[in-house]
Structure 1
Amino acid sequence: MSEDPVLQRAILGLRMSAPFFAGLLLFADLQPRVGLGTAATDGSKIYYDPAYLATLTVKQTQGLLMHEVLHCALQHVPRRKHRNHELWNFAADIVVNGMIAPLEAYDLPLGAIRRPAIEHFSVEEVYAILERECIVIPPILVMDLAGGDGCPVPLNGSDISTAAGENEAYWQHAIRSAQIMAETSERGRGSIPAQFDREMRIADAPQIDWKTSLWRFLVRTPCDFGGFDRRFIHSGLYIDDMAGESLKVHIAIDTSASVSNQELSQFLAEVQSIVGAYPHIDCDLYYADADLHGPYKLGRSSDMPPPKGGGGTSFKPFFHAISDAASSHEEGLCIYLTDGYGDFPAKAPDCPVMWVLVPGGANDEHFPFGEVLRMI
């Protein structure tokens, strides 16, 4: 434990009232840094300015420690990857403050960022939502994640991927230990934030583009190359012609009122990209709200038909239509691009289903069947 008396009082109080956070802080390396102005982390160590802590109450100090140790445990520094540092820091602060705020025994320092409408999502989703909204970063934002301009502490080590590899196992062990402490205390799991498990699943899961996941289905299709594709010879291009079985793909685009125009445009662009990239897809496109519009045959050179919809959301018409198609020996793969909010059929289809969600879409457990992937 740090020798700073302010931190000692704060951490001892957490051991009595919030054993989960107290357990995480047992693994935290707390480093004083005079002149820092506030607190920050490089994903490994937590730095604090003793003069700043002296201005806080014990409850505010506890809130600040909880904030920084959540950044560490949830790997918010290495998870940023290519994203804008300032916007990522804003998104990560929204998520961790949303975890702490419901714990009424503690106070966040003055000026803490809150966005209650989106703070239950993962940091990647919050970032995408903020980016889509063209959000203006408030001037009160304190940059407390290392790895970019504006944060007063440098990234620990020259290679962020190396830092991530060294810290990941350490903090996973810290989380397991803290969970045991919480579960064996009188307060049970009450000190573990409700959103923590969801954020942990996102942190642990590899971030794979959904079209990469689609490739798993495409490579199962037997195919070969036979001569040249004559459609391109007139352009002087001698491209191998892929011969063999095609993969039947049924794609539904959610055109209900809950899907914004920007999200709909993104859906259309995603569909165009997969049809153009994979020539052996036999694609039927549907637009779906409470009703079903289609199917529209799509090929490499097809224009996208104008979207239809704007009403409520039901997934039932699409899957009923696919069941009818399967009875005609056209079963294949179903892809549904949506926000995930709607009525599901009582029975899952016989073919594989991929749900492709916009950032901020429904939780994974909301879906009774299929694989849930996100456009993050």
Structure 2
Amino acid sequence: MHLGFGHLPAAPGAREQPDRYDLAARCVVVNRFLLGFPVGTAPEELPVSYPDGDEERLAARWRAHGLPAAYERCGTAGPGPDQVLVEWLRRWGPVPDRQLAFATALTRTVSAALDLAGGRLDSLDGERLPRRPWERALFVSSYPLLGGIAAGITLVADAELARAHGIRIAAVDPGAGEIYVNPLRTFEDEEWRFILAHEMLHAALRHGDRCGTRDPYLFNIACDYVVNGWLVEMQVGTLPEGLLHDPELAGLSAEEVYDRVAGDLRRMRRLATPRGKGAGDVLGGPLRPAGDYVDLDEFYRRGLSRGLDLHQAQRRGFLPGGLVAEIRALSHPPLPWDARLARWFDEFVPRPEPVRTYARPARRQASTPGIPRAGRYFPPEEVARCTFGVVLDTSGSMGVTLLGKALGAIASYAESRDVPAARVVFCDAAPYDAGYLPVTEIAGRVRVHGRGGTVLQPGIDLLRRAEDFPATAPVLVITDGWCDVLRVRGEHAYLIPRGSRLPFTPRGPVFEVS
């Protein structure tokens, strides 16, 4: 109660401890509040009644007229202080407002009590009764495909939460593993089954992460059409009135449906998801504090894959081909960007071949002085052939994380292939030719400046016109996407941050750094 009343506010820096009058006044206010609630029994040594007034008024009165002996030891530490202020360190996270949290919880409890008295809730904490239609065991026992996902997802039936975040029927947060339902809405049991299966497939197929640079709400609409079509085809529950379904879109992927719905923005903006009109039901952040850490990709991939195997083993019937293809695709996730970049290096950056010659003694010649051994070395023309170019965007919009990961990966792959140096061109308002640099020193030469946005085509032209740069050498362009339209001849690739896009259609591979 001391924390909830704001007696011990968290704050950085040195803290001034309360004096004996403040300590006694705060303990009196807390004990007086507890006497009005059936929270245990007060110890016999505590007073039977307490004076009126808030903490500041009581402390000021006792400083002026003296502290009564009856209220001097009302705390839980006996003669010592039971409230000690300490410095809030930055590594502990953001400074919490416990007084606001207590007020919010108290308001929610009073509201839940009123809803309970009106028959709109089953209990004060908003938990559902076993007879409620959104019971998870329905999927675990009756539909094994979603049983693995349902067993790991928590259902949150909180009217206050739904009202505060505008959840009309239901929404899902894949990161928190929670489905939020509005307990004040009434549906048939089969309709609740359809709604929960809809949200589970949203989370399991990672529709929130697949959005990319598309409009999140329109992509959510497209995913609703696809998911609802699958559920109707599989006869999982009954489609509630108001949810999206179009038989003409059957068999299309979410990306294909998005391309269609994006052509009629005025009509599509009026469509509603289970969360409501104009809001997607795949949430981007948790509505409650985060729980234990878990690998989300592995969790949803394992749940759907095992559910599909169980469904087929029990011969529960046929599934839509598009849904099976999506689950199979989750079982074989794409290679990470650094592995694909390594393959690109292996394919287009040649490894220098050493030449044997007796003109250079071998390193082990001293061990056998009587037997000549040929040494190995890399001819200059071989070293010049085995290189690549780097066109690096150094504008102010470039992130430090992107530069660090990209240049670190380039350095490790180049060293593993014995590439001594790369031809580097820095680009901002104008290109700057840094010449051939050892790959491990590129990061030390980078100086990010400017206001964001840059012109890269002059740097690419400068690199291709250089007489000492091989015409067949590949070029790697590192940018954040805020650049001009590029035309690159020969083999080339792009490194961009995940979620960004280039302002043109690239001809070479694009590696998204995550």
TM-score relative to the length of structure 2: 0.40
Map of 1:374 onto structure 2: 512
The 8 Å contact of residues 389 and 476 in structure 2, kept in 1 or not, is answered as yes
Per-residue displacement from partner, 1:60-107 (whole Å, max 9, x unpaired)? 9877543321333x3x4xxxxxxxxxxxx9968999975336673223
Give ranges in structure 2 of 5+ residues lacking alignment.
Answer: 1-130, 135-142, 157-169, 222-268, 313-317, 365-374
Map of 1:283 onto structure 2: 422
SS in 2 for 1:356: strand
> Map of 1:202-241 to 2, 5 A cutoff?
205-209=334-338, 210-217=340-347, 220-221=350-351, 223-224=353-354, 226=356
Provide closer, same or farther for how the CA distance between residues 292 and 333 of structure 1 changes in structure 2, counting only shifts above 3 A: same
- Measured on the aligned residues, the alpha-carbon RMSD in Å equals 5.7
Which of 180, 192, 203 is the aligned partner of 1:71?
203
The 8 Å contact of residues 425 and 434 in structure 2, kept in 1 or not, is answered as yes
SS in 2 for 1:148: coil
The 8 Å contact of residues 391 and 476 in structure 2, kept in 1 or not, is answered as yes
Q: Distance in 2 between matches of 1:241 and 1:344?
A: 45
Q: Distance in 2 between matches of 1:317 and 1:108?
A: 49
Question: Higher strand fraction: Structure 1 or Structure 2?
Answer: 1
The 8 Å contact of residues 66 and 100 in structure 1, kept in 2 or not, is answered as no
SS in 2 for 1:223: coil
Q: Distance in 2 between matches of 1:231 and 1:141?
A: 65
Map of 2:288 onto structure 1: 140
Give ranges in structure 1 of 5+ residues lacking alignment.
Answer: 8-26, 77-88, 116-136, 179-199, 234-239
Map of 1:105 onto structure 2: 272
SS in 2 for 1:294: strand
SS in 2 for 1:374: strand
Which of 485, 488, 504 is the aligned partner of 1:344?
485
> Map of 1:109-258 to 2, 5 A cutoff?
114-115=283-284, 138=286, 140=288, 148=294, 163=306, 173-175=321-323, 205-209=334-338, 210-217=340-347, 220-221=350-351, 223-224=353-354, 226=356, 243=378, 245-246=382-383, 247-258=386-397
- If you compute each CA radius of gyration, which structure gives the higher value, 1 or 2? 2
SS in 1 for 2:445: coil
Q: Distance in 2 between matches of 1:330 and 1:177?
A: 43
Map of 2:155 onto structure 1: 37
The 8 Å contact of residues 336 and 354 in structure 1, kept in 2 or not, is answered as yes
How far did 1:337 drift?
Answer: 1.3
SS in 1 for 2:288: coil
Map of 1:188 onto structure 2: none
Provide closer, same or farther for how the CA distance between residues 273 and 251 of structure 1 changes in structure 2, counting only shifts above 3 A: same
Q: Distance in 2 between matches of 1:208 and 1:149?
A: 18
Map of 2:460 onto structure 1: 319
Provide closer, same or farther for how the CA distance between residues 160 and 64 of structure 1 changes in structure 2, counting only shifts above 3 A: closer
SS in 2 for 1:373: strand
Per-residue displacement from partner, 1:237-257 (whole Å, max 9, x unpaired)? xxx967473422001221112
Provide closer, same or farther for how the CA distance between residues 329 and 252 of structure 1 changes in structure 2, counting only shifts above 3 A: closer
Provide closer, same or farther for how the CA distance between residues 103 and 251 of structure 1 changes in structure 2, counting only shifts above 3 A: farther
How far did 1:270 drift?
Answer: 3.5
Q: Distance in 2 between matches of 1:371 and 1:218?
A: 12
Per-residue displacement from partner, 1:186-220 (whole Å, max 9, x unpaired)? xxxxxxxxxxxxxx99x864334243223333575
Q: Distance in 2 between matches of 1:106 and 1:162?
A: 27
The 8 Å contact of residues 333 and 352 in structure 1, kept in 2 or not, is answered as yes
With a CA cutoff of 8 Å and minimum separation of 6, indicate the structure with the bigger relative contact order.
1
How far did 1:258 drift?
Answer: 1.8
SS in 2 for 1:213: helix
AA aligned opposite 2:461 = H
The 8 Å contact of residues 250 and 283 in structure 1, kept in 2 or not, is answered as yes
Q: Distance in 2 between matches of 1:156 and 1:264?
A: 31
The 8 Å contact of residues 113 and 141 in structure 1, kept in 2 or not, is answered as no
AA aligned opposite 1:148 = V
Q: Distance in 1 between matches of 2:402 and 2:299?
A: 35
The 8 Å contact of residues 97 and 112 in structure 1, kept in 2 or not, is answered as no
Map of 2:445 onto structure 1: 305
The 8 Å contact of residues 60 and 107 in structure 1, kept in 2 or not, is answered as no
AA aligned opposite 1:37 = L
How far did 1:302 drift?
Answer: 4.2
How far did 1:283 drift?
Answer: 0.7
Q: Give the count of matched residue pairs.
A: 276
How far did 1:341 drift?
Answer: 2.5
Provide closer, same or farther for how the CA distance between residues 141 and 232 of structure 1 changes in structure 2, counting only shifts above 3 A: farther
The 8 Å contact of residues 111 and 140 in structure 1, kept in 2 or not, is answered as no
Provide closer, same or farther for how the CA distance between residues 232 and 271 of structure 1 changes in structure 2, counting only shifts above 3 A: farther
Provide closer, same or farther for how the CA distance between residues 307 and 223 of structure 1 changes in structure 2, counting only shifts above 3 A: same
The 8 Å contact of residues 402 and 497 in structure 2, kept in 1 or not, is answered as yes
Q: Distance in 1 between matches of 2:455 and 2:271?
A: 39
Q: Distance in 2 between matches of 1:366 and 1:164?
A: 41
Provide closer, same or farther for how the CA distance between residues 36 and 353 of structure 1 changes in structure 2, counting only shifts above 3 A: closer
Q: Mean Cα displacement is larger for which, 314-323 or 99-108?
A: 99-108
SS in 1 for 2:155: coil
